[in-house]
A and B are shown apart, each in its own frame.
Chain A
Amino acid sequence: MTEHRIKSRFLYHYLHDPSAIIGSVLMVVFILAALLAPVLAPQNPYDLETVSLANFLQPPVWMEGGQAPFWLGTDDQGRGIFSTMLYGLRTSLLVGFSVVAVAGTFGVLMGLLAGYYGGWIDVVTMRLADTFFSFSTTLMAILLLGLFKERGVITVVVAICIVDWVRYARTMRGSVMEVKQEAYIMAAKATGAGDVRLLFKHLMPNAIAPIFVVVAVDLAVVIMLEATLSFLGVGVPITQPSLGMMIAIGKDYVYAGMWWMVLFPGAVLILLVVGINLFADWLREELNPKIERNA
């Protein structure tokens, strides 16, 4: 099978899978919205000089009392919900991609080493992974954030990375153990390839496929985790926009009939996570030869 044919098979499957298309379109829309936030948002809700309490608790623009440019209403501090959501998306995606990049790289490396060498490095990595997995990641992240004095996006990223890398390490290790037995690895060894060459030229490229699925699934998990932490008040500080924090602020007003403060950020968070998951599902089916495709 040539490279070209593999690509076109991918494309064919993708174009014939509506959920993959919906998922990826959602992702692209949200990523663009986040990137273009300063252009799209009518207001910078975290520039204290321009936000005014005078605009507080306004309903969405189509309701009585709503007014432009606060399309989706405002919160208790006079921040536009629409603008805050765009900036909040930035935080969500920034945390999501940073964690996936940092925890992913570290986890993959540890998994590679553990799978290839075995011995103490394997024991240490995997027992560590078992320990981490035996606690809920949310709980672990809260404990870690409690230990850090400073609050901010970086702190949240670090805390989530610490609990998250084991996912990658485990998957990578399993995959490496399998690939390690293959004849071409034996062959490479026999021809006298060094460890570094073996690890990065032969093992990694052939064992990495399952990691792509983990990346896609994990992105959604991390975004949800950041929102959860911020909702609970241990995530980003109140001076940073966050979808989780918006929901936390808004929930106190739900009984007062001001639903827009919770509904819109909640819907965006759900759509974002659903989009990523739909795409991840498709990717998993596509990359896993064991699953029979119906299409």
Chain B
Amino acid sequence: MKNVLLKLGIVFCLVLMATPALAAADLVVAVDTPPRTMNPHGSDADANLSVMANFFDGLLQLSGGEFKPALAERYEHPDLLTWKFFLRKGVTFHNGNAFDAKDVKFSFERLSDPEVSEFTNTGKSIDTIEIIDDYTVVIKTKEPIPWFANNLHQIFIMDKESTEARDPGEVGQKPIGTGAYKLVEWVKGSYLRLEANENYWEGAPPIKTVEVNPITESSTRFAALVSGKVDLVTGVPVELYDKVAANPKLETINRPARRAIFLALGNAPGAPAADIRVRKAIYMAIDEDEIVEKVMRGQATPTAQVPDPATIGYNPDLQRYPFDPAKAKALLKEAGYENGFEITLAAPNDRYVQDAQIAEAVAKYLAKVGIKVNLDVKPKSVFFPEVQEGKHDFYLIGWLDGAFDMGRTYFNLLHTLDKERGYGTWNGTRYSDADIDRLLQSTTHIVDQAERAKTLQELNKLAMTDKIAWIPLHYQQDIYALQKAAQVKFVPRADRWMVYKEISK
């Protein structure tokens, strides 16, 4: 018995001694959202992809705002449906297995399995995957998808052998990719430790060890930064921005975010919002400038559309309808709603910057023109499934197009729901407009980028100005804070991913 106690004591001392050594990573980061899984196809949320991008590579990569070769050295697009990829040779997975065409085929086929993938839309859009030789793959899509290549930086390639050999639970815990980092340890809800992959095909990354601490509570994240426990935090809360900016030890980096926050509003026949005058009234009743100034503390930019300037289809000519409550009241009167009506506004309260507070502000503005708004604010885990089920016909949501093509966003969010073809899967309000659908359908055959941009801009104008399909609010601002003493060279990405191979000291 004594012996056992003694041994335990020794082990305990060793653990105590070992802990500080382990904790000293070259870079310690606090992020605002934890990853859900280590299965690279298991979640299409940015927070997850951001982590996966360190363990895995796609056929292409997005770097400095441009698509660059990754596991594919180059590709050809001989006709509307065909994509031919020439793969990189001599790449190995973390377990030593060689990367080749069968891994690509396996990974893309895996996308269609809803058990392990949230990229089923991409998976189902693929007709055939043909292996020409070990390093050449031809993918044919069922319908023309002009933005197919723009999505390939987030379709991560897995090792066929080890993924098939392990059970899905373990695949979701221990990533085996070709990426610049290997996962050392993942304590769910606490931290992730990453270690450089010295055999990385692009050369070993400059920072050798990274510790990622997901801290969802913004004031706790702030405390970790101020106390010097972390070198870099993402998602500095707007209410603390002034405080962080004034701290001489800290440096803040802001960049306009790609994500736009907007209100989705259904147009079911018979509902007040089926009347364009009501839609316009709601739009004009909202004082977006005040929301930006007061709720967002200046850390946002008002927008008249959903796609950001980097997305094909962004229309620089679009203007917001001005804030004019008197006009809004007049429009409501004209539409026969002089005494207003009641509507429920749903919103998540833990997803976007100040999401619930924006919803509260909107409710206030609408009350002032006579529309009674019931707020239905809930955690994202409840909110998003409800949106997809079509439970809400007025809700606040944010969006950015990962493939930089507004056509994809519109098919997903605004096209009339068509489950079979995978259209309108995120059209939670079940908004439907024949003109928008028709014009949108016509864009699938346009591959020429300039021509595409022209048609999509036209579509954007139709939807935002003439139809008021959504009520856009603002683009968020991404705010990061760094310890000056850590001397980290960090340039934030437009997609908010934390790709550690891009960071150096």
Q: Please give the residue numbers on chain A whose beta carbons come within 8 Å of chain B beta carbons, in ascending order.
A: 48-49, 51-54, 56-57, 76-78, 233, 237-239, 251-257
Smallest distance from the beta carbon of B216 to chain A beta carbons, Å? 12
Q: Which residues of A contact B498 (CB under 8 A)?
A: none
Give which listed residue, B237, B363, B379, contacts A48 with CB less than 8 A.
Answer: B363
Q: Which residues of A contact B356 (CB under 8 A)?
A: 238
The answer to whether B364 and A53 touch across the interface, beta carbons within 8 angstroms, is yes
> Which residue of chain B has its CB nearest to the CB of A53?
B294
Can you name 12 extra interface pairs (CB under 8 A) apart from A49-B368, A252-B218, A252-B237?
Answer: A48-B363, A49-B364, A49-B367, A52-B364, A53-B361, A54-B294, A76-B295, A77-B357, A239-B363, A239-B374, A253-B239, A255-B243
**Contact (A252, B239) CB under 8 Å given A76-B295, A237-B375:** yes
The answer to whether B361 and A256 touch across the interface, beta carbons within 8 angstroms, is no
Q: Which residues of A contact B294 (CB under 8 A)?
A: 53-54, 56-57, 78
The answer to whether A76 and B379 touch across the interface, beta carbons within 8 angstroms, is no
Whether B360 sits at the interface, judged by CB under 8 Å, is yes
Interface readout for B355-396 with A: 1 if CB under 8 Å, 0 if not? Answer: 011001101100110000111110100000000000000000
Smallest distance from the beta carbon of A257 to chain B beta carbons, Å? 7
Whether B223 sits at the interface, judged by CB under 8 Å, is yes
**Complexed CA–CA distance, A52 and B368 (Å):** 10
Q: Which residues of B contact A51 (CB under 8 A)?
A: 364
**Complexed CA–CA distance, A75 and B435 (Å):** 44
Please name 8 pairs of A and B residues whose Cβ atoms are closer than 8 Å in the assembled complex, sorted by A.
Answer: A48-B367, A54-B290, A57-B294, A76-B295, A239-B374, A255-B222, A255-B223, A256-B243
Whether B240 sits at the interface, judged by CB under 8 Å, is yes
Smallest distance from the beta carbon of A233 to chain B beta carbons, Å? 7
Q: Which residues of A contact B377 (CB under 8 A)?
A: 237-238
**Complexed CA–CA distance, A15 and B226 (Å):** 52
Smallest distance from the beta carbon of A59 to chain B beta carbons, Å? 14
Q: Which residues of B contact A57 (CB under 8 A)?
A: 294
Whether B441 sits at the interface, judged by CB under 8 Å, is no
Whether B219 sits at the interface, judged by CB under 8 Å, is yes
Q: Which residues of B contact A56 (CB under 8 A)?
A: 294
Smallest distance from the beta carbon of A174 to chain B beta carbons, Å? 41
Smallest distance from the beta carbon of A65 to chain B beta carbons, Å? 14
Q: Which residues of B contact A77 (CB under 8 A)?
A: 357, 360-361, 364
**Contact (A76, B357) CB under 8 Å given A48-B367, A48-B373:** yes
Whether B317 sits at the interface, judged by CB under 8 Å, is no
Whether B167 sits at the interface, judged by CB under 8 Å, is no
The answer to whether B357 and A239 touch across the interface, beta carbons within 8 angstroms, is no
Q: Which residues of B contact A257 (CB under 8 A)?
A: 243
Q: Kindly name the residue among A51, A78, A239, A256 whose own CB sees the greatest number of chain B CB atoms within 10 A.
A: A256
Interface readout for B240-252 with A: 1 if CB under 8 Å, 0 if not? Answer: 1011000000000
**Complexed CA–CA distance, A48 and B363 (Å):** 7
Smallest distance from the beta carbon of B332 to chain A beta carbons, Å? 15
Whether B150 sits at the interface, judged by CB under 8 Å, is no
**Complexed CA–CA distance, A37 and B296 (Å):** 31
Whether B349 sits at the interface, judged by CB under 8 Å, is yes
Q: Which residues of B contact A256 (CB under 8 A)?
A: 239-240, 242-243
The answer to whether B374 and A53 touch across the interface, beta carbons within 8 angstroms, is no
**Complexed CA–CA distance, A237 and B363 (Å):** 14
**Complexed CA–CA distance, A57 and B354 (Å):** 15
The answer to whether B240 and A238 touch across the interface, beta carbons within 8 angstroms, is no
Give which listed residue, A52, A78, A233, A251, contacts B379 with CB less than 8 A.
Answer: A233
The answer to whether A239 and B375 touch across the interface, beta carbons within 8 angstroms, is yes
Q: Which residues of B contact A52 (CB under 8 A)?
A: 364
Among B219-266, those with CB < 8 Å from A are 219, 222-223, 237, 239-240, 242-243
**Complexed CA–CA distance, A78 and B356 (Å):** 15
**Complexed CA–CA distance, A56 and B243 (Å):** 18
**Contact (A255, B349) CB under 8 Å given A76-B357, A77-B364, A238-B377:** no
Smallest distance from the beta carbon of B121 to chain A beta carbons, Å? 29
**Complexed CA–CA distance, A78 and B367 (Å):** 15
Smallest distance from the beta carbon of B287 to chain A beta carbons, Å? 8
Smallest distance from the beta carbon of B225 to chain A beta carbons, Å? 10
Smallest distance from the beta carbon of B372 to chain A beta carbons, Å? 8
Q: Which residues of A contact B367 (CB under 8 A)?
A: 48-49
**Complexed CA–CA distance, A238 and B363 (Å):** 12
**Complexed CA–CA distance, A53 and B293 (Å):** 10
Give which listed residue, A48, A49, A53, contacts B290 with CB less than 8 A.
Answer: A53
The answer to whether B349 and A233 touch across the interface, beta carbons within 8 angstroms, is yes
Q: Which residues of B contact A78 (CB under 8 A)?
A: 294
**Complexed CA–CA distance, A197 and B403 (Å):** 78
Q: Which residues of B contact A237 (CB under 8 A)?
A: 375-377
Q: Which residues of A contact B239 (CB under 8 A)?
A: 76, 252-253, 256
Q: Which residues of A contact B376 (CB under 8 A)?
A: 237
> Which residue of chain B has its CB nearest to the CB of A146?
B382
Give which listed residue, A49, A238, A254, contacts B219 with CB less than 8 A.
Answer: A254
Smallest distance from the beta carbon of B304 to chain A beta carbons, Å? 21
Q: Which residues of B contact A53 (CB under 8 A)?
A: 287, 290-291, 294-295, 361, 364
